[in-house]
Chain A
Amino acid sequence: MNSSLIGVAIGLVFIATLAGILSVPLLLRRQALSGDLVAHALLPGLVGAFMITGIKETSILLMGAVFTAWIALRLLSPLQKHPRIKSDGAMAVLISGAYALGVFMLSLLQKTENATQAGLDRYLLGSAAALQWHEVLWAGGIFLLIVGGILPNVSALQLWLFDPDQAKMRGINTHRLERGLEIGICLAVMMAVQFVGIVLAAALLIAPALIARPWVNSLLSLWIGAAAISAFAALTGTWISFQSPGMPTGPWIVLSLAIFWVISYAFWYSKRIIFQAK
């Protein structure tokens, strides 16, 4: 047990738990891949912020990244208003388009030979071992911010997630909830991308709610279950990856989630078969 392992574990537990909490509304609204879209759409903002300011300061780069990610997320629903665009087409166009834009800008930057200095390539695959103590504090702060935003609105969120029309009729400001959810996702993915990379950040926002889903029957228990599973997966992944040098942490967290999913559904499926056979 050394202090770097503890720091990495605490930071990753914060990030994974946050993603686990946000995976619940995404599953219920059938927008599970929003996390993937946000992760890809961070890239143009990241590069753009560096191009405009020329400063290597992480917080400025991340602000630019969250901005473009939020725009991409907001573009989803106008695209789907077109009668010929289905939800999957809109998602796929935005994911690949935003990423192509990001790589295009990155290649313009690489001409001037300071992209690697800005550490921009770190975001492609992420690096959990490089987690610093002040980044752990950041992760904790964002965690508290989002949980603090959710707690006062739990009942409104519950109604909105299960019955949006009813929520509107009751006078709940659903736009505010939607914007809040979008910003929460952008912030959570922004934290996750730095440590697990673009592709795998999406997994943290998909799997936890799906694992807990067969075993719960209320929103609150789904939330608690998803959060607990994410935290456990983060600890498992960190522990496994620290067993052997050069093992990446992010992929092991995602693999643990995948294994938990298989276990969860295998139990659920066999239970269902046994009780139906009777």
Chain B
Amino acid sequence: MNDSLWILTVAIIASIACALTGSTLVIRRQALTADAISHAVLPGIFFAYSISGGRNSFWLLPGAAAAGWFAAFLIQGLQSKLKLPSESATGLVFTAMFALGVVLISYYARQVDLDAECLLYGEMAYIPLEQFYLGDTPIGPKALWVLTPVVLFCIITLLPFYRYWNLISFDSIQARLLGYSPVWGHQWLMALVSWVCVAAFQAVGAILVVALMVIPAQTALLYARNLKQVWIQATLWALVSAIGGWWLAELLAAAYAASIGLVSLVAFGAVFLFTMPRRNT
């Protein structure tokens, strides 16, 4: 398999994971949480890195995901306990955590080989360079092996529980009456989003993670009628963006991640203009 096909494969797998978690987020009006989590993981990466030592450490993923989950927990707490407006709470938490990450990394810059830019701005062109080895034979890029379990996990914890997610997304009171707790669903979703963010941004970068979570989901939400449709349509739009963006990047020799984000934005614009209700005046 040649290099650019590996990149396409990783893009497709990342787009499925992002679309499924992202559409659940957008329906629950937590689109900005994706943006917040993807920035707030920075101090988590630093702590995991400095405790375990080594950029390729296994602990990097859980450490970063824990920081993302903690940020979501803080945002939720500020909103419900202190009655802060949701945008203010989100903005306060993720900028503070990002600043903490930058300060820690630059303070220990002499000891650790780590910089904020390379962590957050992943470069998809390097995906095929980091191969995963079984014994001595390379068995595909590392990013693929990190992302595949994540996407499988998203599928098995979201799709079979359609009724539960549908209830807690649209009618949390009804959900409570029927004995389903929306709290566990919320925490689980936050954990899942953090995990997807962390697994994906090492390979594809933070911009693409947020764009792929939010834009295809919002595109599908413009016309879909229920959660099942949103999941399916968002995944389709994410696939269209991944393949279209990959092709655009190959054509113009541009950055893969940004091209994919751009294609999803164009698709959103087209569907938006098409579905905007006309007012007869």
Contact = CB atoms under 8 A, between A and B. Distances in A.
B117 A124 contact: yes
Interface of B: 26, 29-32, 34-35, 39, 82, 84-88, 90-92, 95-96, 98-100, 102-103, 106-107, 109, 116-117, 121, 207-208, 210-211, 214-215, 218, 221-223, 252-255, 257-262, 264-265, 268, 272, 275-277
Contact of A97 (B82, B86, B261): B261
Q: Which 5 A-B pairs have the closest CB atoms?
A: A100-B261, A203-B95, A107-B255, A258-B96, A92-B31
A206 interface: yes
Nearest to B104: A251
Nearest to A201: B95
A51 to B, nearest CB: 13
Contacts of A108: 252, 254
B102 A251 contact: yes
15 contacts: A33-B32, A82-B272, A83-B277, A88-B29, A93-B215, A95-B35, A96-B35, A96-B211, A97-B268, A101-B261, A124-B117, A247-B107, A254-B95, A254-B98, A258-B99
Given A89-B29, A95-B35, 7 more contacts: A32-B85, A32-B88, A36-B35, A88-B30, A88-B87, A100-B261, A103-B207
Given A82-B222, A200-B99, A96 B258 contact: no
Interface centre among B99, B102, B275, B277 (most CB of A within 10 A): B99
Given A200-B99, A206-B91, A100 B207 contact: yes
A108 B275 CA distance: 32
A252 interface: yes
Contacts of B252: 108
A222 B253 CA distance: 50
Interface in A137-177: none
B91 A84 contact: no
Contact of A252 (B32, B103, B264, B275): B103
Contacts of A25: none
A254 B99 contact: yes
B141 to A, nearest CB: 20
Given A79-B272, A82-B222, A31 B96 contact: no
Interface string A49-92: 00000000000000000000000000000010111111011011
A206 B116 contact: no
Contacts of A119: none
Contacts of B121: 103, 124
A255 interface: yes
A13 interface: no
Of A82, A83, A93, chain B has the most CB atoms within 10 Å of the CB of A93
A30 interface: yes
Interface string A173-211: 000000000000000000000000001101100110010
Nearest to A27: B88
Contacts of B275: 82, 84
Contact of B103 (A27, A91, A104, A255): A255
Nearest to B34: A92
B130 to A, nearest CB: 20
A230 to B, nearest CB: 14
Contacts of B207: 96, 99-100, 103
B96 A203 contact: yes
Given A125-B102, A199-B98, A88 B255 contact: no
A104 B210 CA distance: 15
Contacts of B214: 89, 92-93, 96
Contacts of A206: 88, 91-92, 95
Contacts of A89: 26, 29, 31, 214, 218, 221
A134 interface: no
Nearest to A98: B265
B107 A100 contact: no
A239 interface: no
